[in-house]
Amino acid sequence: MPETIYDALRESHERQRSLCRKLLRAPPHTARRVELFTDLRIELAAHAAAEERFLYAPILMHDAGLDASRHALHEHHEMDELVEDLQTRDHAGAAWMAKAKQLSEKVHHHLREEERKFFQVSGKLLTDAQKTRAAQRYRRDHARMEKKLREA
């Protein structure tokens, strides 16, 4: 059975969950904390860009997918703002950790909601061929974006 967009997304979702857990456990004043935050920031950005292009955009074309897509896009924007805020704070401070916890909670909420609701809505709107093609496009764009973000 060919890979679908949902298979590819779940893989990224698990990576995001793992990075969030590791980040919250990383000791302050360590390069490990900075490294984990960088990895999470890049994964979130690459994932969001590719997902918005190859899943959200096609679903926005359907009346039945408007509300779900808009809500998911809004949550991506909220996570982007939290990441941006974290980039400007001292990584060792208590305020940074409080904001990191907020980001982790938002990420977990978004992934749970997406897997339980958005996948079902979009699964009814896309054909099997579209789901397979979206997976290929998502993977290719995710890898391109990740490379670009790591080089920046």
Task: Note the pLDDT of residue 5.
Answer: 98
Task: Note the pLDDT of residue 62.
Answer: 97
pTM for this one? 0.96
Give me the sign of the Cα torsion angle 55, 56, 60, 63. positive
Q: Over the chain (152 residues), what is each successive 10-residue block's mean pLDDT?
A: 96 98 94 96 98 98 96 98 95 92 98 97 97 98 98 93
Task: Note the pLDDT of residue 29.
Answer: 85
- Domains of the chain, with CATH numbers? 5-151 (1.20.120.520)
| Buried b / exposed e along 19-49 (16+ C-beta atoms within 10 A) | bbeebeebeeeeeebeebbebbbbbbbbbbb
